[in-house]
A and B are shown apart, each in its own frame.
Chain A
Amino acid sequence: MIESHATTEGIHGHPALQHHFENMEQQREAGTIGMWVFLVTEIMFFGGMFLAYALYRSYYPASFASASNHLDITLGAVNTAVLIVSSFTMALAVYFTQVGKQRPQVICLALTLVLGLTFLGIKAVEYHDKYTDHLIPGRLIPSAPFGPAVQEEGQPLDHHKVHLLPGATLPQVEMFYWIYFAMTGMHALHMIIGAGLLTFLLIYSIKGRFDPEYHSPVEIVGLYWHFVDIVWIFLFPLLYLLGRHFEHG
């Protein structure tokens, strides 16, 4: 188990040292462990939804595949790439802070924020498409209850219509979209919070508050950001890709 870093020396030096910590090392370690413990709660939080998804996907494979195929795979893949780049720029931001290069630090933080907002913008486009196709589940939007048009056999392919694979039913497709909105909605909420955190970081970074001695806020927000990226790394194949091999054309 970790040995405590507490010492009996008096408090010294760094303006960012809080009064109840003995030294910066202890403060940094506490902050990092604290964020990791918080990420554990996030893993369990999303875990409940992944459970529901896994269960119903195993029960209704054809419906889930049909519903999934109606999602825009290009937008989903682009969003995945956007988040991966943003994780890269976030890691670089931490690096530049560690080596004390303020200008690249600010640029990387700004890029991460922009990419995060890009993700949200693309998500908004996708959500709007769902709305116009009447795929918002239940009576969430009372004026547009769930009720997509179904692709008929032999008719020309209409991308606004849901193509039901053999064995698929519309109620189970609605189930898929309920889970889709719950999971991506919760993910988007976490992105918004992350964007807020990044904005704070950016402001402090521009003011020169972070240096090689003190930069744990950047690291800690980085951990959060990477976690949100990891959730999407799983959401993308599970929501967008699972039925593609059934569709031929």
Chain B
Amino acid sequence: MSEHIVPVKVYLAIFLALLVGTALTVVAAFIDFPWRLNTIVALTIATIKATLVVLYFMHVRYGTRLVWVIVASALFWMAILFAFTFSDYFTREWLSTGY
């Protein structure tokens, strides 16, 4: 079997990290950061948590390159959807006719 067996203590470490991340994000939500940092902090913590789940719980860290390419492509395509749609909404005001 070419399958990699992830040891329990790795799972345990990731699990605890996820719980800590959840607590952190709740605490950070009540702190009034300047500018848009609240959103950035929350999304960063969420992304780290998601990455841990993908890499370790979903075994991508130990998996083939094909799986990695599949995951990366999905994220890239979501980025396309967001980026190009926002390119419309965030530039509409640029050509304001002033009424």
Touch test A–B (CB under 8 Å): yes
Q: Which A residues fall within an 8 A CB radius of B?
A: 1-2, 25, 28, 32-33, 36-37, 39-40, 43-44, 47-48, 50-51, 54-55, 73, 77, 80-81, 84-85, 87-88, 90-92, 95, 98-99, 212-213, 219, 222-223, 226-227, 229-230, 233-234, 236-238, 241-242, 244-246
Give the A-B contact count at a CB cut-off of 8 A: 126
Contact between A84 and B15 (Cβ–Cβ < 8 Å)?
A: yes
The listed residue (A77, A91, A242) touching B39 by CB distance below 8 A is A242
Contact between A213 and B8 (Cβ–Cβ < 8 Å)?
A: no
Contact between A233 and B30 (Cβ–Cβ < 8 Å)?
A: no
Contact with A along B27-53 (1 / 0, CB 8 A): 001111100001100110110011001
Q: Which residue of A lies closest to B4 (CB)?
A: A98
Contact between B57 and A90 (Cβ–Cβ < 8 Å)?
A: yes
Q: Which residue of B lies closest to A40 (CB)?
A: B74
Main secondary structure of the interface of B (DSSP, over half): helix
Q: Which residue of B lies closest to A216 (CB)?
A: B3
Q: A40-B74, A87-B53, A95-B8 are in contact. Are A226 and B67 (CB under 8 A)?
A: no
Beyond A33-B66, A238-B46, list 12 extra A-B contacts (CB 8 Å). Answer: A33-B70, A36-B70, A36-B71, A48-B81, A77-B22, A80-B22, A81-B22, A212-B1, A230-B50, A234-B50, A237-B25, A241-B42
Interface residues of B in 47-75 (CB under 8 A from A): 49-50, 53-54, 56-59, 64-67, 70-71, 73-75
Asked if B95 CB lies within 8 Å of chain A CBs, one says: no
4 smallest CB-CB distances across A and B, nearest first, come from A241-B29, A237-B42, A88-B15, A244-B29
Contact with A along B2-23 (1 / 0, CB 8 A): 1101101001101100110010
Q: A230-B54, A237-B42 are in contact. Are A245 and B32 (CB under 8 A)?
A: yes
Contact between A73 and B15 (Cβ–Cβ < 8 Å)?
A: no
Chain A residues contacting B5 (CB-CB under 8 Å) are 95, 98-99
> In whole angstroms, how far apart are the Cα atoms of A230 and B29 in the complex?
19
Contact between B57 and A81 (Cβ–Cβ < 8 Å)?
A: no
